[in-house]
Structure 1
């Protein structure tokens, strides 16, 4: 039984009901005086509560996909196969005539999560677009991370067959999943509707999680001696996407957005890696990365610890380091969220050539209904910042590079 399957939820619910029934039935036996009876009562109550909490946790995880498998829950994550090479290099391969080939950094993935998402494109891809379920393999980091990729209708149309497209990478919060981005934040559905109505240029949307070493929350930090999250998101991910899809090669065509800790990550990536991402939209972000029980030690020890911590403090960066030429949008509710004062301070601290915009609703909470409301204006704003790539895919390639023209064969929702 999979961790997120309905069968697991039903089994746990039934087990909880059985425990409650056994507790009620056996309680008269434990009502007597004596050490054994007292210990029996404590054991019966404790066992019933644990099973009930576990059943509720399974239901919650199945609904929001915090952890996708038992392995993730217990910290066992998939690692990249030995010898993976970037598609497009001599000897490397990607997808040819619709067949996935060993060596591509973007591989097809199962559709267990994608099949549960409502409102995805159906019908001909050239009319409605398509969402693919893939896994991205980090050539430098060895990370294997699942992703959903939305390709707009124009991607499949003859008039655009040599055209590259801008990219927006959408990041989930912790311990969220790509299912949350697709089902609850409605990333591809919102982008598709905006593009269809002409309010947003055709854009490839990539939904991915920054939690590359679950259950640990690594934020967007290269942990000394540990997970290299920033390298994966700022180097491995863009390289993999460029090798597999017709997307822009210049940073002006790349943006990143997220909610909660994913929003913090979006700001971090844009301000720390402006040569990769030039635009960010952050829904309810923090402006400083710090250690907590879910992260462990993100910055290690030694004399460089303070420097590493300061490097991930965006207010410190604005005061002490050259300001990058990027555009960022921050969203925070005036009432109902705790970060409004910090957001105002960040807005005031931004200086040229960096630009900042904001969405500041009167009411809202740190939840999906608030972020869904903020998504359309955030995407329209990002659309105005990103450039539609002028570069086109050459008609002729050297051997081994042609794989960049093809869409990875992946599990798709049509």
Structure 2
């Protein structure tokens, strides 16, 4: 039973309720004098409190995504990655493997779509990542069997748990509804985390002598999707969206690779790659690389890319991000366009992003249509 499984939470709730009921039933029997009776009452209190605390901790973890597996909780490496050398003169292994389907309550795939669990192994960088791919209902319909579909890459925040895009932000659910309601074209939505290595926040940056995270998103990801799915590869035909660190990644992907990502949205996004104990040295002391990782600096000092960008932020509750977003938008010049999704109030949290995503997906679709 997975750490983030709803079955685990339901089981713990049942245990807590049963424990409290048991305490109420046994308490009169333990209401006697003596050390044994006193110890019994103390034990019952401890057990009931532990059972309630377990429910609260698991619920908090599901909400905020601190740990995604039992291995992560106990400090063990939760995923395996390996550098796989290419075969000279032979066919390389597929860069994307479907590991199964994720049940998210959409209904029949021919009517609402399907979510695949996927594993990506980058042929360029050698880096690997697990994630999810939403396929629209038309992907499985005979009338569209030769059709290629636009792609939107959704990137969660850091620490990255890609499943949060399903369980907390409800991305495939929002995409499915928009497509079924004909408010958005049938689109493949890839759901991934920003970190390409375990236990390090790479901020979607090509680290000198280290993980080539930006190359993974700009080159490996498109190769992987095209290995498995019928993706539309028109110039500027892909979109990207993310929240928090994922928002920075999405904007950066479009600004550095506009031939692939013609539109991108950053929700409560940073506009520069922070360096701290989780990131380590991202630039090896190279000031130019550090400047180029600053999206505001790029707008002011580099040729503006032909992309459509969106910044989503709340005026109240996200004052720091609001000021950064406004400063970023002010620096933009043609052919770069920056739209704003403004909220009166909100927060740096799943609820705010869950409310923003349906509008952002439709915005991305409109921009990608305009690029055709």
Q: Report the TM range for the smaller structure's normalisation.
A: 0.7 to 0.9
2:336 pairs with one of 354, 365, 370: 354
2:98 pairs with one of 69, 91, 108: 108
Comparing 217-226 and 353-362, the one that deviates more:
217-226
The TM-score normalised by the length of structure 1 is: 0.73
Asked whether the equivalents of residues 151 and 205 of structure 1 are also in contact (C-alpha less than 8 Å), the reply is yes
Q: What is the CA RMSD across the aligned residues, in angstroms?
A: 3.1
**How much does 1:143 deviate?**
2.0
Aligned to 1:161: 145
Unaligned runs of 5+ in 2: 20-51
Asked whether the equivalents of residues 165 and 388 of structure 1 are also in contact (C-alpha less than 8 Å), the reply is no
Unaligned runs of 5+ in 1: 18-51, 93-102, 391-414
User: CA distance change for structure 1 residues 259 and 166 in 2, over 3 Å: closer, same or farther?
Assistant: same
1:222-276 deviation per Cα after TM superposition (whole angstroms, max 9, x unaligned): 1122222111111111111011100012242100000111001111111112122
CA distance in 2, matches of 1:161, 1:208: 26
1:278-300 deviation per Cα after TM superposition (whole angstroms, max 9, x unaligned): 11011111111121222121112
User: CA distance change for structure 1 residues 191 and 136 in 2, over 3 Å: closer, same or farther?
Assistant: same
User: CA distance change for structure 1 residues 263 and 389 in 2, over 3 Å: closer, same or farther?
Assistant: closer
2:107 maps to 1:122: yes
Aligned to 2:354: 372
**How much does 1:80 deviate?**
3.9
1:139 pairs with one of 94, 107, 123: 123
Asked whether the equivalents of residues 129 and 151 of structure 1 are also in contact (C-alpha less than 8 Å), the reply is yes
CA distance in 1, matches of 2:369, 2:254: 16
**How much does 1:121 deviate?**
1.9
1:294 pairs with one of 246, 263, 278: 278
CA distance in 1, matches of 2:86, 2:111: 35
2:163 maps to 1:179: yes
**How much does 1:168 deviate?**
0.3
Higher relative contact order (CA 8 A, sep 6+): 1
Asked whether the equivalents of residues 282 and 330 of structure 1 are also in contact (C-alpha less than 8 Å), the reply is yes
Aligned positions of 1:2-401 closer than 5 A: 3-4=3-4, 60-72=60-72, 74=75, 76=77, 77-80=79-82, 82-83=84-85, 91-92=91-92, 103-109=93-99, 114-115=102-103, 117=104, 120-123=105-108, 125-301=109-285, 304=286, 306-338=287-319, 339-387=321-369
Comparing 239-248 and 155-164, the one that deviates more:
155-164
Asked whether the equivalents of residues 80 and 138 of structure 1 are also in contact (C-alpha less than 8 Å), the reply is no
Asked whether the equivalents of residues 270 and 280 of structure 1 are also in contact (C-alpha less than 8 Å), the reply is yes
User: CA distance change for structure 1 residues 192 and 389 in 2, over 3 Å: closer, same or farther?
Assistant: farther
The TM-score normalised by the length of structure 2 is: 0.81
